[in-house]
Amino acid sequence: MKYQKSHEWVKFEDGVATIGISDHAQEELTELCFIELPSVGDTFEKGQTFGIVESVKSASDVFVPVSGEVIEINETILDDPAIVNSDPENEGWFLKIKMSDESELDDLLSEEDYKSSIT
């Protein structure tokens, strides 16, 4: 798993990046009540906003850590955003992207470096 400084994580397998927000991010946001995600087929460049998460205390943009085309979104979290609070780095994933440039993964933080950056 790799992380972006803005608290998104990436799991990569066979050219597909699964993306979500970190446990730290969901703790800071507290109870999520709304999530907005893009549509399948949308394309993004690394660093663009792809969605919004809203909690009882704030709303935050979510940024795509890698470039590519959305091939799947997690419909379950749209109906039940609390899944992101209970399991942000597994069942609470946001979307899957067919990556256009796998070398972008090299710019992301390791889990150890990410955890060091938030303490």
Number of domain units in the chain = 1
Q: pLDDT tens digit string along 40-88?
A: 999 999 999 999 999 988 999 999 999 999 999 999 999 999 999 999 9
CATH code where residue 89 lies: 2.40.50.100
Distance separating alpha carbons of residues 20 and 61, to the nearest angstrom: 12
Is residue 50 assigned to a domain? yes
- The answer to whether the beta carbons of residues 21 and 62 sit under 8 Å apart is yes
pLDDT number for residue 78: 97
Per residue in 24-45, pLDDT (tens digit) is 999 999 999 999 999 999 999 9
Task: Specify if 15 maps to a domain.
Answer: yes
Asked if residue 89 is part of any domain, the answer here is yes
Picking from 88, 84, 65, the residue whose alpha carbon sits closest to that of residue 17 is 65
Query: Does residue 22 lie in a domain region?
Result: yes
Pair type for strands 95-99 and 68-73? antiparallel
Range of the domain at 21: 2-102
Q: Which amino acid is at 111?
A: E
- Sort strands 16-21 and 32-36 into parallel, antiparallel or unpaired: unpaired
Q: What pTM was computed for the model?
A: 0.94
Give residue 57's pLDDT: 85
